[in-house]
Amino acid sequence: MQSSFDKTPLLFKQVCVIGLGLIGASLAQAIKDNGLSERLVAVDRHVPSVDEAIKHGLLDAGSTRLTDVVAGSDLLIIAVPVQAVQAVFTDIKAAMDNGQLATDCIITDVCSTKVNIIEAAKSVFAALPTGFVPAHPIAGAENSGYHARRANLFVNHSVIICELATTSSSAIAKLQQLWEAVGATVMPMAADHHDAILAHTSHLPHLLAFNLVEQLASHDDNLDMFRYAAGGFRDFTRIAASDPKMWHDIFFANERAIISALDEYGVYLQTMRQLIIDKDSTALMGLLGRAQAARRHFGHMLASTPYTDTSAMSASYNITPSNTVSGTITIPGDKSISHRSIMLGSLATGVTNVTGFLEGEDALATLQAFRDMGVSIEGPDKGRLTIHGVGMNGLKPSKTPLYMGNSGTSMRLLAGILAAQSFDSVLTGDTSLNKRPMERVAAPLRDMGAVIQSTGHDGTAPLSITGRDTVGQPLQGVEYDMPVASAQVKSCLLLAGLWANGTTTVIQPEVSRDHTERMLSAFGYPVTVDGNRVSIEGGGTLTGGDIAVPADISSAAFFMVAAAISQGSELTLTQVGINPTRTGIIDILKLMNADISLSNETHVGGEPVADITIRSSNLQGIDIPEYLVPLAIDEFPVLFIAASCAQGRTVLTGAKELRVKESDRIAVMADGLQTLGIDCTVTEDGLIIEGKGIEGKGSNADSNEVNNSQPVFGGGHITSHHDHRIAMSFAVASLRASKPITIEGVETVNTSFPGFAELANQVGMSIEVHDSRA
């Protein structure tokens, strides 16, 4: 990792670290390695640690007594067990009183409890020093002591700072600079809130880990127990190897909050005990499923990688050029339909069984949101889900903001549902989603009487929605003339309309995908479609049933283009959804002269499906008809790859919407295409691409023999801009590339197409997935 040494000026003249345990010694090492202080001194009761730290060149001086080394320090870091802090404050006060320390020097700590540290300071100082800033780095390891120190212990970890009325802003600013320089992120929090949160997230788990080891160790047959203890025991009790003195102090120091967390734990434990005794399989499955999903969901947040968050991108594709693809493959389930199956299944009466559900992160975010609102959902298990519908009025308020990850569809459709609920809600997402426009749904929802605020910078998420109980009346049906052909806006309003008084009508400028309308009908809810006008009456009910989700044509598109642009290729994609509001990709590729045919056409779950076969084709550049834009809205990134391989120019217009997807797909694709040597021009609402395909040269003048053997792309380095479709599109380009292509930030592919690289390799491509953190 690059050191911040070059960038960060010396912040302090002399830092004095009091306590050379894991945290104190690690922070000392990080300060040293990053050159943040002219001098570094330390105090510790353990003489060998101090001696070694001096010998290692970490410290300029050290002692067992504060007064020996503290003179002239402008930052004091207290890193001793909680119950020893008061004595340290007494020593610090003495040093101030005798002039060794300036009264405005910064004093901070790294302890796991905050209220009692502040109390300790108050009992020593008549007036709290202006430099006193209580803090707590949320970082640690079960190893303790000087030898376990790691300068990178704080990288990507949070540090909570408790600002007191007495604290000077310059002390806070300087401490924040220090923590950021060693790689941490600083968050402000009130001391009592800190203690309550930490009691649940840190103190309770430690207490339980110590307790379980104690329980097992006290059994007579404990040797056998430990000998055969499987991973579960090892994982659960890892933290019981932590420093007993430190935890002893913490348990007493945060007594009230820990006892309250423990009592709540007892209630949950009793519930589980009773479910087992009662053999209540449904409730137990619901509980376990909810917990498993919540853990996966929080896992992303814990790793500060909310699904596809910016800071966390570390996976890349290293792709070696290949030139042909072949085979018969099954593409994962449709994302749009998967979202809707959870939403309507949850609101229905009775049970809904879903098959073919897309286990991608976007659809899983929707699933988690409904679990957070109290819906019991079993699965997903190989695309199967069982949703125990709660009916139109059965959702419960979520205890936390609903986290939508990277998924625009989840956030916009849920906004419609939540605007009609009795309770308040907050919807938030990852960095990319929190930049996307939300007023397009918030404004028309307000016309219906919703109270909804887009609290981000620019009409963006987080969305804060006030419940009808507070507003005092239900939503009102409206007639809304949509300025953009967006299925998300249309669906949001139709879903809100389920609870509205009277009729809700949406008029779309062009046809957009109609999965909401179809699925509402399949659940027995009447929807009236009259040309581009779609209407719904409020006050009805939904009845659960079976939903078979077809393969996603938007994911299939990558493989269609792969076969069309490469040499000697033929791919068959089985049972892909060919809803006419989604088949713009087929129409556009056909206009470009692609060799595509459909077979085995049938219907599953109210949606038409077919096997799609596509072969190597002599693609021709075209002017893409604007009416096809909403019908292929997600497929343009990969269509740009096709256009680059076509003969002649392709012109896209009327596609401004591409600029507000997971990335600005016009700008980002143009950038990547240019990197790979394609001549293209960005326009306000589209892109002009000069295709590099050459005429097919058959021996027979009438034959349409394909010549896709020449590379059209060079090699190079592409970034996904946190957009799954950008990553997959440039992977397809490798079929006509002369050199390797590297694509950074490909974890985002999991939002819509888990297993993409494996499937691509199965048909003949050569993608190596590399994770720099692995």
Ligand X SMILES: O=C(O)C1=C[C@@H](OP(=O)(O)O)[C@@H](O)[C@H](O)C1
Q: Residue numbers of the site for ligand X (CB under 6 A)?
A: 336, 409, 486-488, 491, 512-513, 633-634, 657
Indicate the residue whose CB is closest to ligand X: 336
> Which single residue is written with the structure tokens 């009091």?
18
User: Which of the listed partners (ligand X, ligand PEP, none) does 583 bind, with a CB threshold of 5 to 8 Å by partner kind?
Assistant: none
Closer CB to ligand PEP, 483 or 714, in the complex: 483
Query: Is 340 labeled as ligand-binding?
Result: yes
Instruction: Using alpha carbons, select from 143, 61, 129 the residue that is nearest to residue 95.
Output: 129
Query: Is 486 labeled as ligand-binding?
Result: yes
> Which single residue is written with the structure tokens 């990080």?
30
Query: Is 620 labeled as ligand-binding?
Result: no
Instruction: Decide: 101 and 73 in contact? Cβ < 8 Å.
Output: yes
Query: Is 725 labeled as ligand-binding?
Result: yes
Angstrom distances, CA of residue 445 to CA of 399, 436, 511, 529, 717: 24, 17, 21, 21, 43
What angle (nearest 5°) sits at the alpha carbon of residue 118, between those of residues 115 and 123? 125
Instruction: Decide: 65 and 41 in contact? Cβ < 8 Å.
Output: no
- Contacting residue, 112, 323, 346, 407, with ligand PEP by CB under 6 A: 407
Query: Is 488 labeled as ligand-binding?
Result: yes
Q: How far apart are the first and last CA of the chain?
A: 15
Closer CB to ligand PEP, 26 or 555, in the complex: 555
Indicate the residue whose CB is closest to ligand PEP: 408
> Can you tell me the distance from the alpha carbon of 337 to that of 154, in angstroms, rounded to the nearest whole number?
42
Contact residues for 457 (Cβ-Cβ < 8 A; gap 6+): none
Contact residues for 414 (Cβ-Cβ < 8 A; gap 6+): 343, 366, 369, 402, 404, 427
Closer CB to ligand PEP, 195 or 362, in the complex: 362
Q: Which stretch binds ligand PEP (CB under 6 A): 98-106, 401-409, 520-528, 710-718?
A: 401-409
Closer CB to ligand PEP, 661 or 721, in the complex: 661
User: Which of the listed partners (ligand X, ligand PEP, none) does 662 bind, with a CB threshold of 5 to 8 Å by partner kind?
Assistant: ligand PEP
Name the minimum Å distance from CB 665 to ligand X.
Answer: 10
Closer CB to ligand X, 366 or 617, in the complex: 366
User: Pairing state of beta strands 158-161 and 402-403?
Assistant: unpaired
Query: Is 49 labeled as ligand-binding?
Result: no
| DSSP state string for 139-177 | ---S--SGGG--TTTTTT-EEEE---TT--HHHHHHHHH
- Contacting residue, 693, 752, 753, 757, with ligand PEP by CB under 6 A: 752
> Can you tell me the distance from the alpha carbon of 369 to that of 347, in angstroms, rounded to the nearest whole number?
13
User: Which of the listed partners (ligand PEP, ligand X, none) does 517 bind, with a CB threshold of 5 to 8 Å by partner kind?
Assistant: none
Helices (H), 432-583: 439-447, 468-471, 487-497, 515-522, 553-565
Name the minimum Å distance from CB 395 to ligand X.
Answer: 21
> Can you tell me the distance from the alpha carbon of 105 to that of 102, in angstroms, rounded to the nearest whole number?
5
Angstrom distances, CA of residue 646 to CA of 141, 566, 622, 710, 711: 56, 11, 9, 12, 12
Closer CB to ligand X, 237 or 486, in the complex: 486
Name the minimum Å distance from CB 746 to ligand PEP.
Answer: 15
User: Which of the listed partners (ligand PEP, ligand X, none) does 352 bind, with a CB threshold of 5 to 8 Å by partner kind?
Assistant: none
Q: Which stretch binds ligand PEP (CB under 6 A): 243-251, 390-398, 407-415, 675-683?
A: 407-415
Closer CB to ligand X, 460 or 488, in the complex: 488
Structure tokens at 155: 């990288």
> Can you tell me the distance from the alpha carbon of 367 to that of 364, in angstroms, rounded to the nearest whole number?
5
Name the minimum Å distance from CB 558 to ligand PEP.
Answer: 12
Structure tokens at 240: 């019981």
Instruction: Using alpha carbons, select from 670, 706, 711 the residue that is nearest to residue 690.
Output: 670
Structure tokens at 22: 């894991």
Catalytic residue of the set 195, 595, 634, 723: 634
Which residues between 656 and 715 bind ligand PEP (CB under 6 A)? Answer: 661-662
H helix or E strand, kind and range, residue 770: strand 767-771
Instruction: Check binding of 722 to ligand PEP (CB under 6 A).
Output: no
Structure tokens at 16: 């004095």
How many CB atoms within 10 Å of residue 146? 24
Give the interface size with ligand PEP as a residue count (CB under 6 A): 9
Name the minimum Å distance from CB 386 to ligand X.
Answer: 23
- Contacting residue, 137, 140, 321, 408, with ligand PEP by CB under 6 A: 408
User: Which of the listed partners (ligand PEP, ligand X, none) does 192 bind, with a CB threshold of 5 to 8 Å by partner kind?
Assistant: none
Q: Is 634 a catalytic residue?
A: yes
User: Which of the listed partners (ligand PEP, ligand X, none) does 491 bind, with a CB threshold of 5 to 8 Å by partner kind?
Assistant: ligand X
Name the minimum Å distance from CB 633 to ligand X.
Answer: 5
> Which single residue is written with the structure tokens 């104690």?
214
User: Which of the listed partners (ligand X, ligand PEP, none) does 368 bind, with a CB threshold of 5 to 8 Å by partner kind?
Assistant: none
Contact residues for 474 (Cβ-Cβ < 8 A; gap 6+): 420, 449, 468, 499, 500, 501, 538
User: Which of the listed partners (ligand X, ligand PEP, none) does 407 bind, with a CB threshold of 5 to 8 Å by partner kind?
Assistant: ligand PEP
Closer CB to ligand PEP, 725 or 736, in the complex: 725
> Can you tell me the distance from the alpha carbon of 144 to that of 245, in angstroms, rounded to the nearest whole number?
11
Name the minimum Å distance from CB 635 to ligand X.
Answer: 10
Name the minimum Å distance from CB 433 to ligand PEP.
Answer: 7
Whether the link from the prior residue into 630 is cis, omega within 30° of 0, is no
Q: Which stretch binds ligand PEP (CB under 6 A): 167-175, 403-411, 578-586, 615-623?
A: 403-411
Name the minimum Å distance from CB 509 to ligand PEP.
Answer: 18
- Contacting residue, 634, 640, 646, 712, with ligand PEP by CB under 6 A: 634
Closer CB to ligand PEP, 74 or 362, in the complex: 362
User: Pairing state of beta strands 451-454 and 463-466?
Assistant: antiparallel
> Can you tell me the distance from the alpha carbon of 767 to that of 322, in angstroms, rounded to the nearest whole number?
10
Structure tokens at 431: 């960095």
Q: Which stretch binds ligand PEP (CB under 6 A): 161-169, 188-196, 405-413, 462-470?
A: 405-413
User: Which of the listed partners (ligand PEP, ligand X, none) does 22 bind, with a CB threshold of 5 to 8 Å by partner kind?
Assistant: none
Closer CB to ligand X, 316 or 488, in the complex: 488
Instruction: Decide: 389 and 346 in contact? Cβ < 8 Å.
Output: yes
Cα 496 to chain centroid, rounded: 26
The conformation of residue 219, written as its DSSP 8-state character, comes to S
Query: Is 73 labeled as ligand-binding?
Result: no
User: Which of the listed partners (ligand X, ligand PEP, none) does 725 bind, with a CB threshold of 5 to 8 Å by partner kind?
Assistant: ligand PEP
Name the minimum Å distance from CB 405 to ligand PEP.
Answer: 9
Active site residues: 634
Annotated binding site: 335-336, 340, 408, 436, 486, 488, 634, 661, 665, 725
Annotated binding site for 3-phosphoshikimate: 335-336, 340, 486, 488, 634, 661
Annotated binding site for phosphoenolpyruvate: 335, 408, 436, 488, 665, 725
Binding residues vs ligand PEP (CB under 6 A): 362, 407-409, 634, 661-662, 725, 752
